[in-house]
């Protein structure tokens, strides 16, 4: 979030093109807005697996696995419960920060458009584009069951979320056939087509 450096009271600035503008005094500062990309998918879709390959394929962007901040957010929140809207808003703020260096952010995480719609940092993105990683239900079930015991495994809810994503968002990229490298190449082409 941008605050006016001229006003006596902390005043939140608003985006206008590639500038942050103070609604009180009219101060303007550069604030580049670029598109952000969300590679979503239910658990066991392959988001974490594709990450290192996407980083290699897409050096012009900054690629993050949103799970990296779950631990710090859990420690920072009361009673260890993550404030999920704040968590998602923080990632949009990170994406805006990456834009200041001229690079779009690609966030790998189970976000959906409705979860971002009312977040304060959304207005600092020029657009947010979504792609879905998906696999057959039996593949997802096997992947979830193969995870260590400490990992959450609510298979039915993950299958339902996967069905919701595949019916509401596009493009949908399969991860139960192509290699992670091939999936990363497809994702990189999708991102480049929207930059």
Q: What is the pLDDT of residues 43-82, one digit of tens each?
A: 999 999 999 999 999 999 999 999 998 888 888 877 778 8
Domain span including residue 7: 1-31
* Mean pLDDT, rounded, for 1-5: 91
My answer on whether 21 and 115 are in the same domain is: no
pLDDT at position 24 is 97
Domain count for the chain: 2
pLDDT 10s digits, 155-187: 899 999 999 999 999 999 999 999 999 999 999
My answer on whether 9 and 65 are in the same domain is: no
Largest CA distance in the chain: 60
Q: Please state, rounded to an integer, the average pLDDT across all residues of the chain.
A: 94
CA 135 → CA 19, 21, 117, distances in Å?
41, 44, 27
My answer on whether 15 and 100 are in the same domain is: no
Distance, in Å, from the CA atom of 46 to the CA atom of 69, rounded to the nearest integer, reads 18
pLDDT 10s digits, 5-47: 999 999 999 999 999 999 999 999 999 999 999 999 999 999 9
My answer on whether 52 and 120 are in the same domain is: yes
My answer on whether 57 and 14 are in the same domain is: no
Both tokens of 137, joined, read 């239900």
My answer on whether 17 and 99 are in the same domain is: no
Distance, in Å, from the CA atom of 166 to the CA atom of 179, rounded to the nearest integer, reads 20
My answer on whether 142 and 113 are in the same domain is: yes
């Amino acid at each position: 979030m941008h605050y006016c450096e001229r006003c006596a009271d902390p005043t939140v600035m608003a985006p206008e093109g590639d500038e942050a503008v103070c609604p009180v005094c009219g101060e303007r500062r550069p604030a580049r807005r670029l598109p952000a990309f969300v590679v979503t998918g239910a658990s066991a879709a392959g988001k974490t697996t594709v990450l290192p390959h996407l980083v290699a394929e897409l050096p012009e962007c900054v690629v993050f696995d949103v799970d990296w901040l779950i631990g710090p957010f859990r420690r920072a929140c009361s009673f260890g419960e993550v404030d999920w809207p704040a968590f998602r808003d923080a990632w949009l703020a990170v994406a805006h920060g990456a834009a200041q260096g001229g690079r779009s952010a690609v966030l790998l995480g189970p976000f959906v458009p409705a979860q971002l719609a009312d977040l304060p940092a959304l207005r600092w993105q020029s657009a947010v584009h979504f792609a879905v990683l998906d696999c057959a239900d039996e593949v997802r079930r096997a992947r979830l069951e193969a995870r260590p015991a400490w990992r959450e495994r609510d298979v039915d809810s993950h299958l339902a979320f996967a069905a919701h994503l595949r019916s509401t968002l596009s493009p949908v990229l399969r991860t139960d056939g192509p290699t992670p490298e091939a999936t990363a190449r497809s994702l990189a082409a999708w991102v480049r087509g929207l930059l």
